[in-house]
Structure 1
């Protein structure tokens, strides 16, 4: 599944709904996605899309794939700036998203795109 999302706060909620619907809907795949994995994937999508629409120029593209028991989430945006994980703090309202993504994902990668921008990929095993 792949969707283009505009640069607006509502995109994170839309991305959660799209991801959840995609992962729970029966497909022609052999691997079923557990309810826990669906929850983890929707949280990862929400955090990555929120970061993209808040910090990048323009909207973003969301891609979700299920293959071999893994859920892979990719968010592409136009900003070349790599996301940074901040130390957790009870005083700050923002800045914990990437750390949360790293806790939930088996692997997180930031890939610089040739035509500009970047892709953040999180693989949930």
Structure 2
């Protein structure tokens, strides 16, 4: 089963919250009510969406598209921005710092992540495994 949703984004205040809300709505539609494990997995997805969109705002000349795909047991989230610069960590992870955790969280919480050139910019993506309808499992 393949399902997709694509959203055009307006840059500016509130785009991170907008992307979280859009993602939650789509996942509620696709997966319905969830048990405790599914709710925890949903929160992980929403955290990663926040991180990727925040990175696009800070380093990527603003995000312009959010895309969610459910393909072959995986949820694939993509955020596109206008900067061609690839995402890269700024040194090793330092837990005591107040920022700089986005790529570390992507590595820890997603099953895979990466980036692709897109037009003059790029798309950063991550995957999460999904279970049967009504469940979202890690």
| Structure-1-length-normalised TM-score | 0.84
Residue 84 of structure 1 corresponds to which residue in structure 2?
A: 88
Kept in 2: contact 1:49–1:60 (CA 8 A): no
Q: Structure 1 residue aligned with 2:17, among 6, 13, 24? A: 13
Kept in 2: contact 1:60–1:77 (CA 8 A): yes
Q: 3-state DSSP class of the match of 1:64?
A: strand
The higher relative CO (CA closer than 8 Å, separation ≥ 6) is in 2
5+ residue gaps, structure 1: 28-33
Residue 64 of structure 1 corresponds to which residue in structure 2?
A: 68
- The alignment yields a C-alpha RMSD, in angstroms, of 2.0
Q: Which contiguous aligned blocks of 4+ residues in structure 1 show a shift greater than 4 angstroms?
A: none
Cα distance, 1:35 vs structure 2: 2.5
Residue 49 of structure 2 corresponds to which residue in structure 1?
A: 45
5+ residue gaps, structure 2: 32-37, 130-138
CA displacement, residues 10-69 of structure 1 (integer Å, 9 cap, x when unaligned) = 111111111011101147xxxxxx323322211111110111112222432110111222
Q: Would you say how many aligned residue pairs link Structure 1 and Structure 2?
A: 119
For residues 109 and 26 of structure 1, the distance between their equivalents in structure 2, rounded to whole angstroms, comes to: 24
Q: Structure 1 residue aligned with 2:114, among 104, 109, 117? A: 109
